[in-house]
Structure 1
Amino acid sequence: METLIEESPISGGREHFWGAVKIYTEKSHILNRKVCGSSNITIGFCNEDSYSDDIASVFIDRMSRDVRPNEMPLKCGTDNLECDKTVCFSNNQLDLQQIEHLRRLLQDKGFIFPYEDTKDCSLQTQPPDNHLGEDEPCSEFKSNVTLAKSEMSIPWHELSSYKKIAIAVIRKIYPKQLQKFAPQLELVLLDGWKTTVSYITRPMQQSTTALPRINYSFRLGDSGIVFAVITGEDCEVNTSDSNVLWLKNSVLPKLAKWATEIEEDGTKPERGSLTLLNVQEYNELYQRLKVKYGHPLVENWPENTDPQKFVFEDVAIATYLLLLWKKERELKGTTEYQTFVDLGCGNGLLVYILSGEGHKGLGIDLKRRGIWDTFPESIVLQEGVVEPSCKNLFPQYDWLIGNHSDELTPWLPVIAAKSKYTTRFFVIPCCAHDFDCKYKRQRAGMSQYADYIKYIKEVGVVCGFHVLEDRLRIPSTKRVCLIGQDRTYDIDESPRVLKAIDEFIQNRNEFNAKAPCENEGKSIKSVDQSGKRTADPLWSTNFKAREAVQPVRNCTRLKEEVKHELLSAVFSILLEKKHQVEVDVGCQKTVFWDKGRSINLGDLAKRIGSERLLALKKECGGLQTLLRNHRHMFSINQGEVSLQVPVPEWKATVPKDRIKTKQCWFHHNHYQNCPLPSSACIYAHGEDDIRNNS
């Protein structure tokens, strides 16, 4: 039984609907932050003539009665990267029983399984040649369906080509936090005739799950996408349930948005993450490295930066590289671990983790960090400048890494190409630099970042690499990585390629010389790998490395009176319109408090005015950076600025030694004061409430 909840209008047709559903089905982690990814276990097909109208409700009733909860181990018990994946995501007998149970339910409803993954579920079924009917010959259908045995793919194009086809997918959903959630089986039913997709899973017994605790569907209605909740007989739907609200307010609007971006052929530019790796292996290894390296580093972080961002970002990058290199060893049939150089290694965390996992490497950076002294002596980190010249080649290493390497970014493919024929590179472009100055945008039809990514790929191709592109799962807006792993030429063609590289660099420098360039005329000497100055000429005489000491430009050094004036202006603008919210103040009591309006960041900047923002123009990040530095006052969500609702102490994640160390802004500036009593607020309500740290 389906209960209609909401309909979101779209102007597209079947292809647009299935294109949007494909994104949500294959990349559900985009919206569900509890999920890491999924893998398809088996896929069945059915002629619409034998497909039951109430199959979704039937499955819910049958699964609730017959399928037992999935009992999965919550974490890996080994520190070995090469561990059998079945240790962490077990395909034990209970899993096989559930998969077999679901498959038989589907077979009872007329589904066939022409491409069984016998490794995972030990099932073999051959469909009859005429099962799909005379108007859709089975031979033609099978020739168009391609399913990889290692990870079965849903043939989305068939849903448009064959309207009388239904596809059933049994898949496993992998959560990000294995200590908190268990992997779950999910059944996805794709009805081509009714243009409907249904997501069915047995609600788990635990209080929290990675998947919504309801069964639901989306279908293409007369004027848009319809969201409905599926239940068994005599079950009522609570429309205020948090699962229903999340699907209604978060997923449905995204489906409608994606549908408008789909091309007429049902395709959409690929923007997924981890496309070159197995998501299941990635999640397993990330969780292990997070426990082994991440948590101890966060607890004993000696730097002044945010450990949550830097530590777990480097853990994610290390996870990606370790799996990339593991895959490379398997393809080459070798067990010898790759070596690496991290150019611009910063705090050295990436070098520390990769070295700890068995890869010998070197990290070089302009400035020594305090955290370096906490690493074991086996971690090789070096203070020095790396400039593009023949004295800075690394033929003894397999991989060059550029993690937000700034002015070295375009040089990574060049240094790799000139180091050795077998040297590879991995780079995460960030700030846009060319060979000898800031990068000048070449393509007006795309963002500067996308344009720069395209340019660095071009550099890699000129250097003779097959350049692969992927997206990392890191807390950064600049998370595209480029990989130069294989060459496009034979080793005896190296002189020709090296000559083409030099000509390309010269042409780029001549192009940049036609416009003012920040680094023009600043020729400097190079250094070798020991950090000593040499007279070796640079490949680009205008190249200039960053200064070891960078000016602080994060809005933290604004004059107090300027900062207070700007914050007060934003505060007043937000309180122009009233919006009462309910705040928990403890003892099962709540109070209503005026949170004020929400306003777009761009509109807010216009309201504040250019004169007030003049002081911020010299500060990297501007108004948004200033507001993010005051998270206890303001919230920025998808470009919308609003007041932060005060959080009581028992819900806050602030360390105990920082409670009551600052004055509460709302207590002193909000016309209703702070909604929390002094005993519940993590900030001080007056001078007498300030914590004494002496």
Structure 2
Amino acid sequence: MDSPKAVSFWQAINILVDKPHVINKRLWGSNLLSKHICQDVNDRYNHDIAISDLYLKNENEVLSFMQDFFLKTSLKPLDEKNTVEGQNNFVEIILLELLPKNYTDSHGFQLVCLEKDKATATFYDVTPKEYNQSLCPNFTYSFQLINEDILIIGCNDENSKSQKWLRFNVLPQIIRWMDQDLVTNNNKSGTIKDSLALVPNDKYYTRYNSLKLKYGKAMVKIWPESTDPTKFVFEDVAIATYLLLLWENTNANSSNKPVRFVDIGCGNGLLVYILTKEGHKGLGVDVRKRNIWNMYDPEIKLEEKTVTPENIHDFTEFDWIIGNHSDELTPWIPVMALRCSYNCNFFLLPCCAYNFDGTKYQRQNSSKSQYNEYLDYILKLCEDCGFNTEIDRLKIPSTKRICLIGRTRKYDNDQYETYNKKVLEIIINNGKEFQNTNNGNNFKARNPIEKVKNCTQIEKSVIKTVVDKITNFLLDGCNFEDKWNPGKELPIGDLVDQIPGDILKALKAECGGLQTLLKNNHHIFKVQKGKVQLRHPKTVEDIMKSMKIHKNKSSSIRVQIKPCWFYNNHPQGCPLTDSSCSYLHAIS
């Protein structure tokens, strides 16, 4: 039996082999081309000599490559039935295609040899030399467990970048993986280890980059929303890629007709746009219209509409219901799919945690994070609705990446009406929000007019009152005879007492309270680590340098337009000259 240390070593090596992109930032991921359990006929062989002239040009040559490999090494591939559990004298051979993060770069090919009896994992670069691949070290190297130590064996120049990367990045990471608890917790949602488990990884890689070039870059350039296009555009491209492959896989044995889908809470509508352009028929609905909707073609169907439990029958014509960050409608997505028809499926990407009535979900178990607990809650709900629920992890720029998919039922079609009648009971038992059978009449939908809550809607007279009281308190008792004095630096808590109760209440209603208001007036106040002090005014030169660092065009910078607050309000005026201050020295 392997020692605990050996078990941890192989678990860490498996992570390195299965997910090389975790430690190698040049990789998007990898594609498993071949895997064999082998027996060494001659008991010993020299890896370096045996495969020194073996190279793989593309994934179409895998069969001939492996045949040559077995001939040169005298390794004999075995069926799983020929292996005996507990024996370690077998050699596992894995052939990987390394997929570059930069889609236009050459792919790499790596052969991995795992020798259990020697506790050694050896990595060979089998990419043709003319490819000039830079995705992995181009020399042979091994990680070996000797007693309690991990050693790197068979490397080249000690000062090469690849050698330093192996020593200072990969090796420490293997040790960390060994030291940490590699056993997943008992949460059902925590059992998801791999990304994109339900779609072909290689097809996803190709399709994602194709859609990224086709839609992503152009959309980033014209993005009219205030949100970050580099995040939201490519995230929707990734989700669209996943759904397209999922639907192809689901319809593999059918007529492959276009999928009819509805995206509940579609937001910017980009997901609807891409899926429609790729040949499917869909509708996006959201409580609030976005600016970008006007830029789409007329064929893109987007509707400003408040979705409630009462009108979910409006969507019975669709095959799939999509809940992509659907917020307060998240628990309703599987219910909607159930009640629409027996053949209706759903894709759900939970983010913010909500109950059935639109209130925020409160964590019940302190041993779990709110996100994991909410995932378990939604998963149980999906199963209660009669779905064989599948779970997967997406590759998107978000910490909330777990999706739930319902595309098959636990029951036959003739039991559909029975399950449909159970919906109300499911809601009552899971949500405990409804005291009568009202189909969710207590549900609170989001207001179509999104209220701005950043203290920018406070009356100017109130803002002036707060600013005057805070500055007077910071400057009280300070010496103004010598150099310019920015006043005292005080905790925010000490300043709260200076604000009348009714004004404080109004600030808190606008999210963030006093601190948000002070940060909004950053030209006056410096707020750091919970403390507040008057800011030293910035010069024109300071502004120019800051803009150059952030790569903004200096020609677009506007200085000396707004009046200088210090010039008009500080007891010593502004410490800068009229020409050097970035604000205008004029009596306001």
Q: TM-score range by the shorter chain?
A: 0.7 to 0.9
> Residue in 1 aligned with 2:19?
27
Quick one: which of 85, 92, 98 aligns to 1:173?
A: 98
Separation (CA, whole Å) in 1 of partners of 2:556 and 2:97? 42
Structure 1 residues 211 and 539, CA gap change in structure 2 (3 angstroms):
farther
In the alignment, structure 1 residue 357 sits paired with structure 2 residue 278: yes
Q: Deviations over 1:309-356 (max 9, x none)?
A: 0100000000000000011111x3212121100000000000000000
Letter in 2 for 1:58: I
Structure 1 residues 59, 439: CA separation in 2 closer, same or farther (over 3 Å shift)?
A: farther
AA partner of residue 49 (structure 2)? V
Q: Does 1:504 align with 2:426?
A: yes
Partner of 2:247: 325
Gap change, CA 1:293 and 1:548, over 3 Å in 2: same
2:49 match: 58
How far is the alpha carbon of 1:194 from its aligned partner?
1.3
Q: 1:299 to 1:433 in 2, by over 3 A?
A: same
TM-fit CA distance, 1:30: 2.3
After superposition, residues 190-339 of structure 1 pair within 5 angstroms as: 190-202=114-126, 209-226=134-151, 228=152, 230-231=154-155, 235-238=156-159, 241-259=160-178, 260-263=180-183, 269-330=191-252, 332-339=253-260
TM-score, with normalisation over the residues of structure 2?
0.74
1:545 matches 2:445:
yes
Does the aligned pair in 2 maintain the 1:44–1:168 contact within 8 Å? yes
Confirm or deny: 8 A CA contact 1:471 1:480 kept in the other structure: yes
Instruction: Describe how 1:629-668 pairs up with structure 2 within 5 A.
Output: 654=551, 656=553
2:34 is aligned to 42
1:448 to 1:163, Cα distance in 2 relative to 1, 3 A:
same
Matches of 2:43 and 2:452, distance apart in 1: 65
In the alignment, is the contact (CA less than 8 A) between 2:91 and 2:115 conserved in 1? yes
Instruction: Assess, with a 3 A threshold, how the Cα gap between structure 1 residues 476 and 326 changes in structure 2: closer, same or farther.
Output: same
Rounded Cα–Cα distance in structure 1 between residues aligned with 2:46 and 2:398: 44
Shift of 1:217: 2.2
AA of the residue aligned to 1:344: G
Q: Secondary structure at the match of 2:309?
A: coil
Q: Is this contact kept in 2: 1:471–1:481, CA < 8 A?
A: yes
- Native 8 Å contact 1:424 1:484 kept in 2: yes
Q: 1:91 to 1:249 in 2, by over 3 A?
A: closer
Tell me the distance in 2 between the aligned counterparts of 1:209 and 1:538: 62
**Aligned position for 2:476:** none
Deviation at 1:538, TM superposition (A): 5.7
Deviation at 1:287, TM superposition (A): 0.4
Q: What secondary structure is seen at the aligned counterpart in 2 of 1:434?
A: coil
Q: Secondary structure at the match of 1:193?
A: coil
The one-letter code matched in structure 2 to 1:221 is: I
* Residue type at the aligned position of 1:305: T
* Letter of the structure 1 residue corresponding to residue 142 of structure 2: S
Aligned to 1:112: 76
1:257 is aligned with what amino acid?
Answer: R
Mapped to 2, the partners of 1:229 and 1:652 lie a distance apart of: 44
Question: Residues 16 and 263 of structure 1 are in contact (CA less than 8 Å); yes or no, is this contact kept in structure 2?
Answer: no
1:388/1:539 contact within 8 Å kept = yes
User: CA 1:500/1:554 → structure 2, altered by over 3 Å: closer, same or farther?
Assistant: same
Aligned-partner residue type, residue 543 of structure 1: F
What is the CA-CA distance between 1:169 and the residue it aligns to? 1.6
Indicate the structure (1 or 2) with the bigger Cα radius of gyration: 2
Q: CA deviation at 1:384?
A: 1.0
Secondary structure at the counterpart of residue 276 of structure 2: helix
| Superposition map of 1:59-138 within 5 A | 62-63=52-53, 67=55, 70=57, 91=59, 95=61, 100-101=64-65, 103-114=67-78
How far 1:657 moved relative to its partner?
Answer: 7.2
Distance 1:277 1:391 in 2: 29
For the structure 1 residues 45 and 373, does the alpha-carbon distance in structure 2 shift closer, same or farther, using more than 3 Å as the test? same
Rounded to whole Å, the distance in 1 between the matches of 2:338 and 2:40 is: 56
Distance 1:201 1:298, change over 3 A: same
Q: How far has the Cα of 1:43 moved from its partner?
A: 3.0
- For residues 654 and 619 of structure 1, the distance between their equivalents in structure 2, rounded to whole angstroms, comes to 30
List aligned pairs for 1:426-465, cutoff 5 A: 426-436=347-357, 437-465=359-387
Deviation at 1:397, TM superposition (A): 0.7
Question: Which residue is equivalent to 1:189?
Answer: 113
Go from structure 1 to structure 2 and tell me whether the alpha carbon gap of 1:552 and 1:19 turns closer, same or farther (over 3 Å shift): farther
| Counterpart-to-counterpart distance in 2, 1:14 and 1:609 | 54
- Structure 1 residues 471-620: aligned runs within 5 Å: 471-509=393-431, 511-512=432-433, 539-552=439-452, 618-619=511-512
TM-score of the aligned structures, taking structure 1 as reference length: 0.64
Identity of aligned residues (%): 35
- Does the residue aligned with 2:342 lie in a helix, a strand or coil? coil
Deviations 1:50-93 (A, max 9, x none): 354642x3357x14xx648x4xxxxxxxxxxxxxxxxxxx645x
Partner of residue 332, structure 2: 411
- Work out which structure has the larger RCO, using CA pairs closer than 8 Å and 6 or more positions apart in sequence: 1
- For structure 1, list consecutive stretches of 5 or more residues without a partner in the other structure: 1-10, 71-89, 116-137, 145-157, 515-522, 524-536, 566-606, 630-647, 664-685, 690-694
Q: C-alpha distance in 1, partners of 2:4/2:457?
A: 51
Looking at structure 2, the residues matched to 497 and 194 of structure 1 have their Cα atoms a distance apart, in angstroms, of 56
**Per-residue deviation, 1:395:** 1.5
**Distance in 1 (alpha carbons) for counterparts of 2:123 and 2:557:** 47
Deviation at 1:209, TM superposition (A): 2.3
Please tell me the residue identity of whatever aligns with 1:261.
D
Preserved CA contact (<8 Å) 1:340 1:400: yes
Q: Which amino acid aligns with 2:28?
A: C
Q: Is the CA contact 2:38–2:78 (under 8 Å) kept in the aligned structure 1?
A: no
State the one-letter code of the partner of 1:275. A
Q: Is the 8 A contact 1:46 1:110 kept in 2?
A: no
SS in 2 for 1:112: strand
Q: Tell me, yes or no, if the aligned pair for 1:416 and 1:423 is still in contact at 8 Å.
A: yes
2:6 corresponds to which of 6, 14, 27: 14
Please state how far the C-alpha of 1:652 moved relative to its aligned partner: 7.5
Cα distance in 2 for partners of 1:487, 1:202 equals 46
How far, CA to CA, are the matches of 1:163 and 1:391 in structure 2? 58
- CA 1:538/1:308 → structure 2, altered by over 3 Å: closer, same or farther? farther
Instruction: Assess if the C-alpha contact under 8 Å between 1:347 and 1:372 holds in 2.
Output: yes
Q: Does the 8 Å contact 2:265/2:285 carry over to 1?
A: yes
Structure 1 residue matching 2:448: 3-state secondary structure = coil
SS in structure 2 at match of 1:39: strand
What residue ranges of structure 2 are gaps of 5+ in the alignment?
Answer: 185-189, 471-489, 497-503, 523-544, 561-579, 584-588
CA RMSD of aligned residues (A): 4.1
Q: 2:559 and 2:65 mapped to 1: Cα distance?
A: 59
Write out per-residue CA displacement over residues 592-620 of structure 1, whole angstroms, 9 at most, x where no aligned residue: xxxxxxxxxxxxxxx98877999999449
